[in-house]
Amino acid sequence: MAISLKKILGAVAPSLATALGGPLAGTAVAAIAKKVLGKDAASEDEIAAVLQTADPAMLLKLKELDAQFKSDMAKLGVELDRIELEDRKDARAMHVATKDWMPNALAGILMLGLGACAVVLMNHSVPPDNKEIIVNLMGVLEGAAVTVFTFYFGSSRSSSEKDKVIGRIAES
């Protein structure tokens, strides 16, 4: 199972990861291909495959690129946090407007599944052949749970930044 480029970048290069979710995706991918891989062009899947086995020197290049990208975007007046906030705001607005029960049901099923897996793992031993699969499954479920909590309750970073962004939007 291939891990998405956005997920890989989330921990190492958050500004680039944020850009992948919006209109700057092409710019971010091109910058990573050039600076980190030394290529003129590469696909997101190709970059993700290389980064899954990245050495410390490559991760350092990626962190440097992330800092430079964030600085360049700030100079151009592009607010990466605002792009991320707007995306989440649109998803929440759609959820409220459609009154769709499916996201609530999926979130509930996910949380129950995570809890059930945790209880089973605490009460039973995992055969050594299956340990890697179970650890991977728990990681996926925990990541999805973080996404659910962020969607419904916001994140601590976005909560503190949200007021600033809303203030700037109200002024303009």
Mean pLDDT, all residues of the chain:
77
pLDDT, greater one: 110 or 165? 110
Assess whether 20 and 60 both reside in one domain: yes
Give how many domains the chain has, as a whole number: 2
Domain containing 107 equals 80-171
Domain boundary among 75, 104, 131: 75
- Based on the fold, state whether residues 40 and 105 are members of the same structural domain: no
- For the stretch 12-47, pLDDT in tens is 788 787 777 677 778 888 888 888 888 888 888 888
Do 129 and 49 belong together in one domain?
no
**pLDDT over 50 (residue 1):** no
The three state secondary structure string of the chain is CCCCHHHHHHHHCHHHHHHHCCCCHHHHHHHHHHHHHCCCCCCHHHHHHHHCCCCHHHHHHHHHHHHHHHHHHHHCCCCHHHHHHHHHHHHHHHHHHHCCCHHHHHHHHHHHHHHHHHHHHHHCCCCHHHHHHHHHHHHHHHHHHHHHHHHHHCCHHHHHHHHHHHHHHHHC
pTM: 0.44
